[in-house]
């Protein structure tokens, strides 16, 4: 067996894993990335709009990665929130926070391709792809990962001082580390699509709470909007297979007439929805990041943004240890890291789940109360400012990259 030594092993080459590996390598840390996907792999799961908060854009810019994405991203300057069939509504405006945009929206495929190219071009990162972790053995001062796949030789292994599991909702590393999860199946799926409205509204995002579930329209480039529509599985299956005219009519009926209806849909895809939450963020020398730690309902678009803040915090902890010449995977450091992340994660997870339950509950009179609440929120500037800060990805003590500083 050939064992390769590294300081940090990042398992997962998606946006969170790629950003973390780039940040650590640029700070002089020896990093090995293990990614199960092939560089040329294509997946319908990548067909979805991604809303990057202002804070996430700041993190990407601190890593020098934003310039390659900026021309493919559409700004969110206003957010319209309403409930189908109710008068109450609230509008959040970026200008009220003295910024140009709450964030930007980009196609998932474009984001993954751009970050993947940046990862491949970063000196100091050893990328093993396609490769999977098949065993994990914890020692007193390191962790050994046994690997398998076309991107590695037979019986290859990695020995690392710290392992970061950024390998998604069904994380292999999380399971091998013995970390359990709590799951809540919402009994819904997300139908994603790129649609062309008859009256485009550049810079405007819309959140509609419908009888079936939340419906979000996010601005994309080229006069398009990205759709994330939460639906019962059978209705979603029927809509994804429906003729274009029938699909657009159903969307128009659910969304309302603000954009003058819709004249085209470019693609459609389905994604099952569940909340998956790890019972621990750290076990031994393994720390969880991104969807491996928390997978959220897309109602507030916070999943990837939470993961990029995980990246920023882990990078700060590891780079601080590297500069001081101490062990980045020491239990005390990882315990402190988990404690630093806990308030942000708890607030976003709890808030997202509560929002879904509030706007899907069918108790008598609750719809009127929700509409009144949205109307009152629009008249309460302090509450709107607080909600706006969370939409931007702020609200807690910030690591260097979230403050726009190089890692």
Tokens of 123: 């000196």
* Concatenated DSSP letters of 44-108: GGG-SEEEEEHHHHHHHHHTT-SHHHHTT-EEE-EEEEEETT-S-EEEEEGGGGTSS-SEEEEEH
Higher model confidence: residue 44 or residue 170?
A: 170
User: Helix 15-26 crosses helix 303-324 at what angle (to 10 degrees)?
Assistant: 20
**Residue 151: is its pLDDT beyond 80?**
yes
Average pLDDT over residues 214-220: 90
Q: Return the DSSP state at 224.
A: -
Tokens of 312: 């920023």
Residue 306: phi, psi to the nearest 5?
A: -65, -40
Q: What is the pLDDT of residue 375?
A: 45
Check: CB of residue 226 under 8 Å from CB of residue 218: yes
pLDDT tens for residues 27-65? 999 999 999 987 655 444 456 788 898 889 999 999 999
Alpha helices (runs of H) in 160-243, residue ranges in sequence order: 172-176, 233-241
Q: What is the pLDDT of residue 53?
A: 87
CA distance 125 to 17: 12
Strand duo 214-219 + 225-231: pairing: antiparallel
Confidence band of 324 (pLDDT split at 50, 70, 90): very high
Q: In 3D, which of 335, 340, 391 has the Cα closest to residue 99?
A: 391
Least confidently predicted of 80-84, 130-134, 243-247: 80-84
* Concatenated DSSP letters of 313-338: HHHHHHHHHHHHT--TT-HHHHHHHH
pLDDT tens for residues 349-385? 555 555 555 445 443 443 444 444 444 444 445 444 5
Q: What is the pLDDT of residue 377?
A: 40
**3-class state of residue 317 by DSSP:** helix
**3-class state of residue 23 by DSSP:** helix
Q: Angle at Cα 144 formed by Cα 10 and Cα 281, nearest 5°?
A: 50
CA atoms within 13 A on the CB side of 217: 28
Strand partners, 216: 207, 228
**3-class state of residue 223 by DSSP:** coil
In the block, which residue shows the tokens 């803040």?
A: 309
* Concatenated DSSP letters of 108-146: HHHHHHHHHHHHHT-TTEEEE-S-EEEEEEE-SS-EEEE
CA distance 55 to 348: 14
Least confidently predicted of 155-159, 210-214, 325-329: 210-214
Q: In 3D, which of 117, 109, 113 has the Cα closest to residue 46?
A: 109
Q: What is the pLDDT of residue 174?
A: 97
């Amino acid at each position: 067996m050939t064992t390769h030594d590294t300081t940090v092993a990042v398992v997962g080459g998606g946006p969170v894993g790629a950003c973390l590996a780039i940040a650590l390598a640029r700070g002089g840390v020896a990093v090995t990335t293990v990614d199960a996907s092939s560089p040329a792999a294509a997946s319908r799961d990548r067909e979805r709009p991604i809303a990057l908060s202002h804070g996430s854009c700041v993190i990407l810019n601190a890593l020098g990665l934003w310039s390659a994405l900026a021309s493919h991203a559409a700004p969110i300057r206003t957010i319209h929130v309403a409930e189908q069939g109710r008068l109450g509504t609230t509008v959040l405006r970026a200008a009220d926070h003295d910024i140009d945009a709450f964030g930007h929206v980009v196609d998932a495929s474009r984001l993954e391709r751009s970050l993947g190219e940046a990862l491949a071009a970063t000196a100091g990162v050893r990328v093993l792809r396609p490769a999977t972790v098949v065993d994990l053995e914890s020692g007193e001062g390191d962790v050994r990962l046994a690997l398998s796949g076309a991107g590695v030789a037979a019986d290859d292994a990695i020995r690392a001082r710290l392992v970061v599991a950024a390998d998604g909702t069904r994380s292999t590393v999380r399971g091998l580390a013995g970390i359990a999860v709590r799951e809540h199946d919402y009994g819904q799926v997300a139908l994603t699509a790129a649609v062309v409205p008859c009256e485009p509204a550049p810079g405007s995002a819309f959140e509609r709470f419908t009888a079936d579930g939340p419906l979000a329209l996010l601005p994309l480039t080229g006069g398009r909007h990205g759709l994330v529509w939460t639906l019962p599985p059978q209705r979603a299956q029927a809509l994804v297979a429906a003729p274009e005219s029938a699909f657009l009519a159903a969307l128009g009926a659910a969304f309302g007439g603000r954009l003058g209806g819709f004249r085209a849909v470019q693609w459609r895809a389905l994604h099952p929805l569940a909340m998956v939450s790890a019972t621990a963020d750290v076990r031994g020398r393994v720390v969880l990041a991104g969807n491996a730690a928390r997978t959220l309902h897309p109602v507030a678009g916070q999943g990837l943004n939470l993961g990029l803040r995980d990246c920023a915090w882990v990078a700060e902890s590891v780079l601080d240890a590297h500069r001081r010449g101490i062990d980045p995977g020491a239990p005390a450091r990882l315990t402190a890291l988990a404690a630093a992340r806990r308030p942000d994660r708890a607030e976003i997870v709890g808030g997202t789940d509560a929002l879904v339950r509030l706007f899907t509950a069918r108790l008598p009179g609750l719809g009127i109360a929700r509409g009144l609440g949205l109307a009152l929120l629009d008249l309460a500037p302090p509450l709107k400012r607080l909600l706006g800060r969370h939409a931007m990805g702020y609200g807690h003590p910030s690591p260097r990259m979230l403050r726009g500083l190089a890692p």
